[in-house]
Amino acid sequence: MTFGQRKPGLKFLIAIGLVSGASLGYEILLMRIFSIIQWHHFAYLMISLALLGFGVSGTIITLLGDRLSRHFYRAFQLNLVLFSISSLGCFLIAQQVQFNPLEILWDKGQWINLAGIFLLLMLPFFFAANGICLAFMQYKRHINSVYAANLFGSGMGALAVILLLHWLFPLTLLGLISGLGFLAVALLQKPSILTLKGMIGLILAVLVPIFVIQSDLQLKPLEYKQLSQTMKQMGARVIAERSGPLALITVVESPKIPFRYAPGLSLMSPALPPDQLGLFFDGEGMTAITRYDGKQDSIAYLHEMPSALPYVLLDQPDVLILGAGGGASILQALWHGARQIDAVELNDDLVALMTADFADYSGRIYTHEKVSVHVEEARGFIETTQNQFDLIQMELMDSFNVSSAGLSALSETWLYTVESFQTLLQRLKPEGILAIGRWIRLPPRDGPRMLATVIEAMHRSGIDDPARRLVWIRSWNLGVLLIRNGAFSAADIASIKAFCIQRAFDLAWYPGISEKEVNRYNHLADPVFYQAAVALLGEERDRYIETNKFNITPVTDDKPWFFRFFRWRILPDVMNNIQTGGYSLLDLGYLVLVATLVLASVFSFLLILLPLVFKYRKWMQRCHESPLRVALYFSCLGFAFMFIEIAFMQRFSLYLSHPVLSAATMLTSFLVFAGIGSQWVGRGHHPYAKKRIMISVFVIVAIATLYLLVLPVIFRTSMTFPDTLRVLISILLIAPLAVFMGMPFPAGIARLENESGEKACRMVPWAWGVNGCASVIGAVLATLLATHFGISAVILIAMAFYLVALVLIPTQAGFTGGGENDRGRTV
Amino acid sequence: MVVRIKIIWFFICISIPSLGIEQVLAEDFVRLREEMVQEIGHDLRETVAQTHVSDLSEQVKKALLAVPRHEFVPERLKDKAYENRPLPIGYGQTISQPFIVALMTELLKLKPNDKVLEIGTGSGYQAAVLAEIVDQVYTIEIIPELGEHAAERFERLGYANIKTRIGDGYYGWEEAAPFDAIIVTAAASHIPPPLVQQLKPGGRMIIPVGSQFMTQFLVLVEKDQRGEIVAEQIVPVKFVPLTRATEK
């Protein structure tokens, strides 16, 4: 029997759907799990892994295809079983690999550990892809139905994981996913599932998740994460845990070593924090739930923190708190006699904890008569609310450890952008104040960048005297920037000075400040914060930003990476000062991305391309087409596809509020609609193939250009719609783009097949491999480029790749039908 | 008999080289320690503009040469003990980079009869260095296992002038207060005000700030004779934040 002769049955199609869904669900689940055990930026690593797994599979199936065709069912089932085993097994082994990203600069062995994790976690994707690729080849003539099962299963897998994360812990979900391979094998047994093999498969499918739930298996967060460290303290214990698609929330009680979370508390403070519970998000970002018994004295410490400054200037303000968290800012507002408090919190699990489990402990502040809690994304809330406030407080959004190590370098922060500040300024009442707290990093970067971004927003909003509307103070570890809707008065300045003197906080800027007044209590070798303010508020602004060795350019919605301070020009300083703190100049999150790019490039070359090169001569002997031209065409498509996918994933994360939701929606949409496009072009007649490639490229360029212009407007007008509606709108927006993006690859493949004939010239594997390499590298490179040049630039580069591909279309006309090798739809 | 002689001969043969190796290793550690101290001296001279510490003082140099750092790291990392880098010691903690240990010790400007409090014992290396210089060292650790291991180590190495405690360091060590110097190796969201109160007038408190493997800056809190507080933030890295015109 050879490939392509038979028609697949319903049970087989269900099996394909199951393994497709399981592999995509596994990818999304790994993103979530790695946010818990490591950090958020590993999401990009997971995308690369999945792509690499599929790419390597393509190469292997291409090389072994004929041999495998003789044992199709056995090979197919074996790969499904191996997926089941490896999806759980490889993860558990990978958890044992002692990879510590914090040590990556000191210990070269960490690179080997990272590579080990990379290879281990690639295996489940590889096995799943083997099954899918084998099915495509086996049922070549009925590929439409196999393909539909693949797409439907993948889409359902992504959505199911996102939904199930609301109710199930990630490890339980991992067990369920691992069982799906066995279930698929059980379904395939003849005459029915009730055979011995079928029953074994079924039992294993049920036993694996039960084993995971019942056993002691646990996620092992890195021991350097805050939660891991806290749990090593005497008497510390977890008293509540909530898992959702946004975060794993852990509440910890530590009676023997009490939590005393009070960022920037004055050294002179006569008051100390009362009892607190530690609140962790994905094992990091510690804040606290403070015990509140209704007595003002018990929380007097809140008046001794830099964040209390605006209350010195405002009487009974209406307050908006962005990022209510454990409620410290709400308490602070209540302590200072706020009239009305609107608190925005994205995480509904946290709101549930604060209004139920810990309502009494926290003094029922979330349901206090003065407090209205909004479960929304902060940027979405400020874009749509019509209310104005006397005070808008932006909470610290990351922990000090994460900030100081630069681990947030790849986190998009839509609240810290010029556009966001423009909106925030509109939400201030006359004389209202926007207060922003940021951890201090030295040499300074967060503070100057925040100031530069705010000043840019003020200029764009038509404010020509920002210097009169800004006040900037700092403690040793926390800076607070106040932006007033109006000028600060002499009385305000006097109050600010008194506040700072009493608490030993330093003034970095106020209207009329002199250099003698700065750098007094928290003395730095140079008054760098004051100098930054003077430069950024004066004529030297552009030059100061340009010549700064850190990236402190104003952050925009197009480049929302506030925490990516790294500029390559800093590298000599790092290398010259390795032993004396040079590494603290780097952003670790960015470095991990670079490491991922290196690994992705090396492994995709070694595992996808190199095996094909060995057969290169044999395959190319009778080819008329230039291999270089083919390589360029298909690598252009690989880069272009991934650049657009990643760029839109990032752009939609503002709209969909979170990278995980955005990734799931985008992956599913691109997958399904690119597949539909691929099928659509596949049914066409060959004379039209080149024309269709050209049309599709022009349509892609047109739609992408249109989106660059209109997406901000669409997002703004529909930002407050419910999640499901925004997901639907996102899918509808991606659909036309993805449909056309699915066309150039299979059309090009078909032209190659037709040009040479399968036996005469095997250019197809070459095209497949090159495209695979480009896709793997492109996924990481897109993010790297976006952090430097902006999301729009990545979309523009993608368009350029498509246009270049247009002139490289394989020259021989011809078309033989559906593109089963379309990588865009298998990932 | 012949067999017995052969066995004895065999053991002599294998034990001589192993004795030799031990000796070589011990000598190696002494040499490595000297090299480490030289490197630290060089680094301090390089960063004098930032730290105002021009070189290793005799007392700190002696202390660094005396403390067997390899005794404070896990067995598997002994060969790396004298590298100028932080090392993991388990429990999510690290033994600080020797350069940072030396710098912090220098910045405290210790005198032999000083009393020093350390919050965060960790491996105990910093406390041992302090104990080589001053009469009394008090150290508190919140992770029981680390505290216990450090106490055993101090006993084994003969550091009788180090008093250990496992527990909360936020309120310092009230019975032994006030202190001439305090080191807080585990920085929290704020510097505990009670610790400032336990500092003698004229005393100094040092706090390294950053993640476990990266000291970003040091905070040196000084309490003057009137009890007033000034904090100095010291960035050890030699760095000019702006690009000079010639570099552009």
Phi, psi at A821, each rounded to 5°? -95, 15
CA atoms lying within 13 Å on the CB side of residue B70: 18
Q: Which of B189, B211, B233 sits opposite A262 (nearest CB)?
A: B189
Collect all residues of chain B within an 8 Å Cβ-Cβ radius of residue A262.
Answer: 189-190
Distance in angstroms (rounded) separating the CA atoms of residues A264 and A519:
16
Give the tens place of pLDDT for each residue, B100-111.
Answer: 999 999 999 999
Mutate to test the interface with B, among A287, A563, A579 (most CBs of B within 10 A): A579
Alpha carbon of B148: minimum distance to chain A alpha carbons (Å): 13
Please compute the mean of the pLDDT values over residues A23-47 and round it to a whole number.
82
Mutate to test the interface with A, among B239, B246, B247 (most CBs of A within 10 A): B239
User: To the nearest whole number, what is the mean pLDDT of chain B?
Assistant: 86
Does the beta-carbon distance from A582 to B188 stay under 8 Å?
Answer: no
The answer to whether B146 and B121 have CB atoms below 8 angstroms apart is yes
Q: Residue A448, SS3?
A: helix
pLDDT top residue among A158 and B218:
B218
The answer to whether A528 and A389 have CB atoms below 8 angstroms apart is no
This model of the complex carries an ipTM of 0.84
Give the tens place of pLDDT for each residue, A316-352.
Answer: 999 999 988 899 999 999 999 999 999 999 888 999 9
Cα separations (Å) of A720 from A343, A352, A716? 16, 21, 9
Q: Nearest Cα to A458, choosing from A483, A492, A438?
A: A483
The residue extents of the domains of chain A are 1-221, 226-279, 615-827
CATH of A1-221, one of 2.60.40, 1.20.120, 1.20.1250, 1.10.3470: 1.20.1250
Q: Which residue of A has its CA nearest to B171?
A: A257
Chain B segment 86-125 residues within 8 A of A by beta carbon are: 86, 88, 90-93, 97, 99
Give the tens place of pLDDT for each residue, A573-620.
Answer: 888 887 788 888 888 788 878 888 888 888 888 888 888 777 776 666
Q: Which of B143, B144, B214 sits opposite A584 (nearest CB)?
A: B214
Phi, psi at B186, each rounded to 5°? -115, 95
pLDDT top residue among A90 and A153:
A90
| Per-position DSSP letters for A682-736, written without gaps between them | HTS-GGGHHHHHHHHHHHHHHHHHHHHHHHHHHHHHHTTS-HHHHHHHHHHHHHH
Task: Find the distance separating the first CA and the last CA of chain B, reported in whole Å.
Answer: 84
Collect all residues of chain B within an 8 Å Cβ-Cβ radius of residue A550.
Answer: 241
Collect all residues of chain A within an 8 Å Cβ-Cβ radius of residue B247.
Answer: 569
Give the tens place of pLDDT for each residue, A225-248.
Answer: 889 989 988 889 999 999 888 888
Collect all residues of chain B within an 8 Å Cβ-Cβ radius of residue A444.
Answer: 241
Collect all residues of chain B within an 8 Å Cβ-Cβ radius of residue A523.
Answer: 230-233
Distance in angstroms (rounded) separating the CA atoms of residues A108 and A16:
41
Range with the poorest average pLDDT among A34-48, A186-200, A206-220, A512-526: A34-48
Q: How many CB pairs under 8 A join A and B?
A: 176
Give the tens place of pLDDT for each residue, B79-123.
Answer: 899 999 999 999 889 999 999 999 999 999 999 999 999 999 999
Q: Which of A228, A520, A584 sits opposite B216 (nearest CB)?
A: A584
Does the beta-carbon distance from A257 to B212 stay under 8 Å?
Answer: no
| Per-position DSSP letters for B95-133, written without gaps between them | EPPHHHHHHHHHHTT--TT-EEEEE--TTSHHHHHHHHH
Q: Residue A391, SS3?
A: strand
Does the beta-carbon distance from B237 to A582 stay under 8 Å?
Answer: yes
Q: B15, B54, B96, B189: which one is catalytic?
A: B96
In degrees, rounded to 5, the angle at the alpha carbon of residue A785 between the alpha carbons of residues A782 and A791 is 75
Q: Which of A404, A528, A580 sits opposite B46 (nearest CB)?
A: A580
Does the beta-carbon distance from A234 to B167 stay under 8 Å?
Answer: yes
Give the tens place of pLDDT for each residue, A187-205.
Answer: 988 777 778 888 888 888 8
* Exposed/middle/buried for residue B246 (C-beta within 10 Å: 0-12, 13-18, 19+): exposed
Q: Nearest Cα to A173, choosing from A290, A29, A313?
A: A29
Of the segments A258-267, A403-412, A466-475, B224-233, which one has the largest average pLDDT value?
A466-475
Segment holding A641, helix H or strand E: helix A627-656
Which residues sit opposite B138 in a β-bridge? B117, B163
Does the beta-carbon distance from A579 to B43 stay under 8 Å?
Answer: yes
Does the beta-carbon distance from A579 to B234 stay under 8 Å?
Answer: no
Mutate to test the interface with A, among B146, B212, B237 (most CBs of A within 10 A): B237
Cα separations (Å) of A778 from A422, A647, A653? 34, 11, 19
Query: A762 pLDDT band (50/70/90 cuts)?
Result: low
Q: Could you please state the CATH topology (level 3) that the domain comprising A615-827 is classified under.
A: Growth Hormone; Chain: A; (1.20.1250)
How many other C-beta atoms lie within 10 A of the C-beta of residue A555? 29
Distance in angstroms (rounded) separating the CA atoms of residues A260 and A265:
10
Is B123 considered catalytic here? Answer: no
- pLDDT of residue A67 exceeding 70, the answer is yes
Q: Which residue of A has its CA nearest to B47?
A: A580
Does the beta-carbon distance from B236 to A106 stay under 8 Å?
Answer: no
The answer to whether A208 and A180 have CB atoms below 8 angstroms apart is no
Does the beta-carbon distance from A265 to B189 stay under 8 Å?
Answer: yes
Q: Which domains does chain B have, with CATH numbers?
A: 26-234 (3.40.50.150)
Segment holding B204, helix H or strand E: strand B199-211
**Which residue carries 């927003």 as its tokens?**
A457
Collect all residues of chain B within an 8 Å Cβ-Cβ radius of residue A268.
Answer: 193, 229
Q: Nearest Cα to A309, choosing from A88, A480, A458?
A: A480
**Which residue carries 């105990």 as its tokens?**
B124
Predicted confidence at residue A537, as pLDDT, reads 96
Does the beta-carbon distance from A260 to B188 stay under 8 Å?
Answer: yes
Q: Residue B223, SS3?
A: strand
Same fold, A1-221 and A615-827: yes
